[in-house]
Amino acid sequence: MHDRKQRGGSPASALFFADHLRGVRDGRIVFPMNRRNFLYTGLAATLALQTQRLFALEGGAAYRNNIGIQLYTLRNELKADTAATLKAVADAGYKQVEPFGFPDADALIKGSQDLGLKINSTHFQWESATKPKDESFSDFLKIVEKAKSLGLTHLVVPYLQDGDRKTLDDYKRVAGNLNKAAAKAKEAGIQLCYHNHNFEFQPLEGGKSGFDIFTEEFSKDMKFELDLFWVKLGGIEPTDLIAKLAGRVEQLHLKDLKEGIKTPEFGKVPNDAFKELGNGIIKTEPILVAAEKAGIKHCHVEQDQSPDALASIKQSISYLKTL
């Protein structure tokens, strides 16, 4: 048996040990849960939770510090006064913007650049890629050329018309065209992405969905921009899908869904279903942590409908700052 000196102990520590040790159960030393031990245990648990939260905050910091906004949110305000609206975006604290309607978005792009707002990505006239008029994708290549000249890194397909998503074969045809377009974009240093809604998750023939087809058929050059409002509405947990598609998702659209809206829902929802971040049922903080683990590059706030869009985007970025 080792003596106390060999164990590196001291009389004080031995007395403390003897005073608190009350028995051995199944080979385990048992300490009573007195007030001091209770406080120690509570402190340890609190520190563990704080450490876990600190790592979570650090995980989402890159997105919060470089948060973007999809300008479709402010389409009405931009139409009324482009310059004033973009200034309000910058004043609110947004660091980048994602325009829409490219290549016919010169006013949005110039106004944003003049204010120091970064533009990495834009939604564009998507049928140049999904339904090209010729095998050379000539219209799409013009869009790619302009995007490259402006220093953009991403082009995003924002939507599919009804006629392009009635059957699984429709989705397969779209996927085939997008794979070809993505390869052409890659040659110019541009990443092509697809932005989802909820209709892609609706089961079709054999219970398979259009989104299933995209995940199966998209090439390694073709990526996603996940809109998490529509993912949730489609009956899927956003963090689960982000993890499943790790390495295949370039960007996220952050928005919130009103409590009480039925899911899954593959059709239209009322305007008030769209909520500012923190005002609905979608948990933003775990999403930011999952985004970092999945290697996602950019996150953009978006709110399709709001009675006061400028107030909404300010509220959403204020919420992000509290995380």
81 falls within a domain: yes
Q: Report the percentage of the chain scoring pLDDT > 70.
A: 82
Chain CA centroid to CA 69, Å: 12
156 falls within a domain: yes
Give the pLDDT confidence of 82-141 residue by residue, as tens digits. Answer: 999 999 999 999 999 999 999 999 999 999 999 999 999 999 999 999 999 999 999 999
For the ranges 10-19, 56-65, 134-143, 235-244, which has the lowest average pLDDT? 10-19
**Taking a C-beta distance cutoff of 8 angstroms, is the pair 301, 254 a contact?**
yes
Measured from the Cβ of residue 204, the count of other Cβ atoms closer than 10 Å reads 17
140 falls within a domain: yes
Burial environment of residue 246 by CB neighbours within 10 A (0 to 12, 13 to 18, 19 or more): middle
Mean pLDDT value across residues 260-266: 98
19 falls in which pLDDT band (50, 70, 90)? very low
CATH number of residue 224's parent domain: 3.20.20.150
Task: Show the domain range for 195.
Answer: 64-322
Quick one: tokens of 94? 């947004």
163 falls within a domain: yes
- pLDDT value of residue 60: 82
- How many structural domains compose the chain? 1
Determine the Cα–Cα distance for residues 167 and 205; give it in Å rounded to an integer: 7
235 falls in which pLDDT band (50, 70, 90)? very high
Determine the Cα–Cα distance for residues 285 and 59; give it in Å rounded to an integer: 9
Measured from the Cβ of residue 176, the count of other Cβ atoms closer than 10 Å reads 13
SS3 for 276?
coil
Determine the Cα–Cα distance for residues 10 and 118; give it in Å rounded to an integer: 63
What torsion do the CA atoms of 314, 316, 318, 323 make, to the nearest 10 degrees? -170
Using the 8-state DSSP alphabet, how is residue 2 labeled? -
For residue 152, how many C-alpha atoms fall within 13 Å in the half-sphere facing its CB? 27
State which amino acid sits at residue 270. P
Determine the Cα–Cα distance for residues 55 and 23; give it in Å rounded to an integer: 38
pTM comes to 0.83
- pLDDT value of residue 48: 45
Of 177, 209, 173, which Cα lies nearest the Cα of 192? Answer: 177
37 falls within a domain: no
Contacts of 185 (CB under 8 A, 6+ apart): 140, 144, 155, 191, 192, 221
